[in-house]
Amino acid sequence: MAVENNENELSEFNREELKDLVLDSYELMLKIPNPRPPSFEIQSRSKLKNLSEALREFPDASASVTHFVKSASYFLPRSDSKLTDFLDMLLIKVKKIQLSESNPEKIQKKIGYLIGYSNWSMDAVCHIFKIIREDNEVEKRLQTMVGAELKVLGAEDKASGIVRDIMQWKAGSNREGR
């Protein structure tokens, strides 16, 4: 996970940046319309997987971020009207990244990782739903996966809440009260 620093050298995201991206990616994933059994497939998966393509449309990072926002705002609600909550959360997360960064290249990279992590989580979680039918076993597997991701980032205390939210998402309650 490399980003450019001010000297145009590559450096890693720091721990706090990575923690924010991972936590934000789960929050973003939970705004995707919940998958339906028995296949647990996301209906608009291809639109979500291709989101980051708009970030690579222009060589200039600022132009790419602008193009990404315009593209997501135009295409997501038209592909699936249920993606409005996802789009709203995506734009909130993009704004958060923009407020925390001044370097357009780093903003572009962070948005790319946010989308990528959200997509990876979506795929991993849906795969777990599909292969494990017992909710207790699903919850254990999710706790192991999310806990392992967050432990090294010093955010293991967030794992149980994320797992609870994922289980509610699985049950179809992600639309209530959010």
Query: pLDDT in tens for each of the 178 residues of the chain?
Result: 444 444 443 366 899 999 999 999 999 999 999 998 899 999 888 889 899 999 999 999 999 999 999 999 999 988 788 899 999 999 999 999 999 999 999 999 999 999 999 999 999 999 999 999 999 999 999 999 999 999 999 999 999 999 999 999 999 854 443 3
Q: What 3-state class would DSSP assign to 31?
A: coil
Which candidate, 118, 109, 55, places its Cα nearest to that of 89? Answer: 118
How many Cβ atoms are within 10 Å of 151's Cβ, its own excluded?
12
Per-residue confidence (pLDDT) for residue 146, from 0 to 100:
98
Please, are residues 56 and 115 in contact by the beta-carbon 8 Å criterion? Answer: no
Instruction: State how far the Cα of 89 lies from the Cα of 118, in Å rounded to an integer.
Output: 12
Per-residue confidence (pLDDT) for residue 126, from 0 to 100:
96
Instruction: State how far the Cα of 30 lies from the Cα of 83, in Å rounded to an integer.
Output: 11
Per-residue confidence (pLDDT) for residue 44, from 0 to 100:
87
Per-residue confidence (pLDDT) for residue 80, from 0 to 100:
82
Per-residue confidence (pLDDT) for residue 43, from 0 to 100:
86
Please, are residues 10 and 18 in contact by the beta-carbon 8 Å criterion? Answer: no
Per-residue confidence (pLDDT) for residue 12, from 0 to 100:
66
Q: What 3-state class would DSSP assign to 10?
A: strand
Q: How far is CA 79 from CA 2, 9, 27, 71, 128, in A?
A: 32, 39, 21, 12, 26
How many Cβ atoms are within 10 Å of 36's Cβ, its own excluded?
12
Please, are residues 132 and 141 in contact by the beta-carbon 8 Å criterion? Answer: yes
Per-residue confidence (pLDDT) for residue 175, from 0 to 100:
45
